[in-house]
């Protein structure tokens, strides 16, 4: 494995290498119809303004790198259309592309994909199990990113390993929403100073699922925004060839080092057993939203004390207000209380524990909560 310092001659394919340079120039120098899959994590164009502090006054280390700065939506669109066109030229007729983004850029990317002639197969939601909260309480926690999976054209015979993904999902068809933690801990690459080497390193689990599901062993996977090489690392591990393109020398250096350590897995090791998930948490408010309890309805405890359900899923008793757990604890003078087993509601003259309703919701959610 070596890093090339200039684009390769047309006709040859620089397998398992990182190529230095602008991805549009480099892709334009590669032979057409030669690549099986492209995975792209382009700049998101975040348009951040001032600094942001956590409630404890620490400062959030935001993405303020030059490569994420664009003068306007029009400039971002131009850039997007150019790299998407270059990518489409080098894709084999039955090749496919994945692009990941957030609400800042993904709508522009998706529209440009369609305009360029790609055919969208699915959009996939990466649901983060541990996202950064919204510290100021001004919006919803931005807890997901979106990936678009598209074939080169309508009617193309793209690769889809249906059974492999089904096995990965405990025998159930793989859905379009994937729960995966963000990249932290040992997996997160550090530079010499001990800081994160790249501000937006993606988890290997994400690429694992993408490559397992939409490429075959020996396929060529190209990543035009290679960064620290997650795509290459997972490709190598899974026995796929990779081609990385990266402008920044610092990122290339980290990626080279990373890739040198990766070994291809043997087939038996690729089969993973997934641990059984804990029962999904059901917020009490969902019973109200779903009409299982009416706002204004009265719950009672064992001693006959009553509390009224409010429209936001909080309770009000004669003296207290709060969650089902808080009001229960206050009525009992206890430090805590499991509201699910504490409260009952009335149906047809019968008192029924509200936990019955939670079980009902969990059944509906199946394994996908």
Q: Say how far apart CA 18 and CA 232 lie, in whole Å.
A: 9
Q: Which of 2, 11, 50, 192 binds DNA (CB under 7 A)?
A: 50
Q: Which two tokens stand for residue 217?
A: 């062993």
* Tokens 């009409």 sit on residue: 291
Cβ distance to a second copy smaller for residue 192 or 312: 312
- Contacts to DNA from residues 126-145, by CB under 7 A: 129-139, 141-142, 145
| 16, 172, 218, 274 from 123: Cα distances, Å | 28, 19, 25, 24
Question: Residue 128: helix, strand or coil by DSSP?
Answer: strand
Q: Which of 28, 305, 323, 360 binds DNA (CB under 7 A)?
A: 323
Q: Which two tokens stand for residue 160?
A: 């889809």
Nearest distance from C-beta of residue 191 to a second copy, angstroms: 22
144 binds a second copy (CB under 8 A): yes
- Nearest-CA neighbor of 223 among 70, 87, 104? 87
296 binds a second copy (CB under 8 A): yes
Give the pairing type, strands 344-347 and 321-322.
Answer: unpaired
Q: Which one of DNA, a second copy, none interacts with residue 157, CB within 5 to 8 A by kind? A: DNA
Q: Which one of DNA, a second copy, none interacts with residue 320, CB within 5 to 8 A by kind? A: none
269 binds a second copy (CB under 8 A): yes
303 binds DNA (CB under 7 A): no
- Nearest-CA neighbor of 14 among 300, 284, 6, 195? 6
Segment contacting DNA by CB under 7 A, of 15-23, 84-92, 242-250, 330-338: 330-338
* Tokens 């291809």 sit on residue: 264
Strands ordered across the beta sheet of 35-40? 3-4, 17-20, 241-246, 220-223, 35-40, 91-101, 144-151, 119-128, 177-180
15 binds DNA (CB under 7 A): no
CA atoms within 13 A on the CB side of 121: 21
157 binds DNA (CB under 7 A): yes
Q: Which one of a second copy, DNA, none interacts with residue 10, CB within 5 to 8 A by kind? A: none
Q: Which of 141, 191, 302, 359 binds a second copy (CB under 8 A)?
A: 141
- Contacts to DNA from residues 178-207, by CB under 7 A: 181-186, 188, 196, 199-201
- Contacts to a second copy from residues 184-203, by CB under 8 A: 187
307 binds a second copy (CB under 8 A): no
70 binds a second copy (CB under 8 A): no
Q: Which two tokens stand for residue 18?
A: 């990182």
Q: Which one of a second copy, DNA, none interacts with residue 200, CB within 5 to 8 A by kind? A: DNA
Segment contacting DNA by CB under 7 A, of 11-19, 120-128, 263-271, 298-306: 120-128
Question: Residue 46: helix, strand or coil by DSSP?
Answer: coil
| 51, 60, 141, 193, 286 from 137: Cα distances, Å | 16, 15, 9, 33, 21
31 binds a second copy (CB under 8 A): no
Segment contacting DNA by CB under 7 A, of 159-167, 210-218, 248-256, 359-367: 159-167
């Amino acid at each position: 494995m070596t890093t090339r310092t200039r684009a390769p001659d047309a006709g040859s394919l620089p397998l398992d290498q990182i190529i230095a340079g602008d991805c549009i120039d480099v892709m334009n120098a590669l032979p057409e119809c030669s690549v099986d899959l492209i995975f792209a994590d382009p700049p998101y164009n975040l348009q951040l303004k001032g600094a942001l502090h956590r409630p404890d006054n620490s400062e959030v280390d935001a993405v303020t790198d030059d490569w994420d700065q664009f003068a306007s939506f029009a400039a971002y669109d131009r850039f997007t259309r150019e790299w998407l066109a270059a990518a489409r030229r080098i894709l084999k007729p039955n090749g496919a592309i994945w692009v990941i983004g957030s609400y800042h850029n993904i709508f522009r990317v998706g529209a440009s994909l369609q305009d360029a002639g790609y055919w969208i197969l699915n959009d996939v939601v990466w649901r983060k199990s541990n996202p950064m909260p919204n510290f100021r309480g001004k919006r919803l926690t931005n807890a997901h990113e979106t990936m678009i999976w598209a074939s080169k054209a309508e009617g193309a015979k793209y690769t889809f390993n249906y059974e492999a993904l089904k096995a990965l999902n405990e025998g159930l068809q793989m859905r379009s929403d994937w729960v995966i933690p963000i990249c932290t801990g040992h997996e997160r690459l550090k530079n010499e100073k001990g800081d994160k080497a790249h501000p937006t390193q993606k988890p290997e689990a994400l690429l694992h699922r993408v490559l397992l599901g939409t490429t075959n062993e020996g396929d060529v996977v190209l990543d035009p925004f290679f960064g620290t090489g997650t795509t290459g690392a997972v490709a190598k591990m899974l026995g796929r060839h990779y081609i990385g393109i990266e402008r920044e020398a610092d990122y290339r250096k980290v990626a080279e080092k990373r890739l040198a350590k990766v070994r291809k897995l043997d087939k038996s090791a690729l089969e993973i057993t997934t641990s059984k998930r804990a029962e999904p948490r059901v917020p009490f408010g969902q019973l109200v939203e779903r009409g299982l309890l009416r706002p204004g309805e009265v719950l009672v405890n064992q001693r006959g004390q009553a509390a009224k359900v409010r429209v936001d899923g909080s309770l009000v008793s004669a003296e207290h207000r709060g969650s089902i757990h808080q009001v229960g604890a206050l009525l009992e003078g206890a430090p805590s209380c499991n509201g699910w087993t504490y409260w009952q509601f009335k149906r047809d003259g019968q008192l029924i524990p509200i936990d019955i309703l939670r079980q009902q919701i969990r059944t509906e959610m199946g394994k996908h909560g």
